[in-house]
Amino acid sequence: MKLPNKIEPIEPNYDEIDAIILLERWYDEWTREDDWWYGGNTWDLNIFTRKDGEYVINVYGLVRYDDDEYPSTDTSNELDLFELKL
């Protein structure tokens, strides 16, 4: 099996306020999930809950691969990180 090759990071148009707007809009969903993703055009949000009830919010930039996939699973492409307890 041949795995796809990473070609280039997608230039993100990320701004912190954009993430905050999404957090507000989808609050009811991500607070009920243990691991929640939201996909954007150039960046993705991932929110997971720690055992102590703290939320960890990662913002990842997308990366283009030679099979035309645009994953954000490359954690080295982290754009921002929030940690909060509600």
Radius of gyration from C-alpha coordinates of the chain: 14
pLDDT in tens, 23-76: 999 999 999 988 999 988 889 899 999 888 899 999 988 887 776 666 666 666
Closest CA to 47 of 72, 77, 55: 55
Nearest Cα residue to 61 out of 4, 29, 18: 18
DSSP secondary structure, 43-54, as one string: EEEEEEE-TTSE
What's the pLDDT band for 10 if we cut at 50, 70, 90? Answer: confident
- Torsional sign, CA 38, 18, 10, 46: negative
In which residue are the tokens 């997308």 written?
62
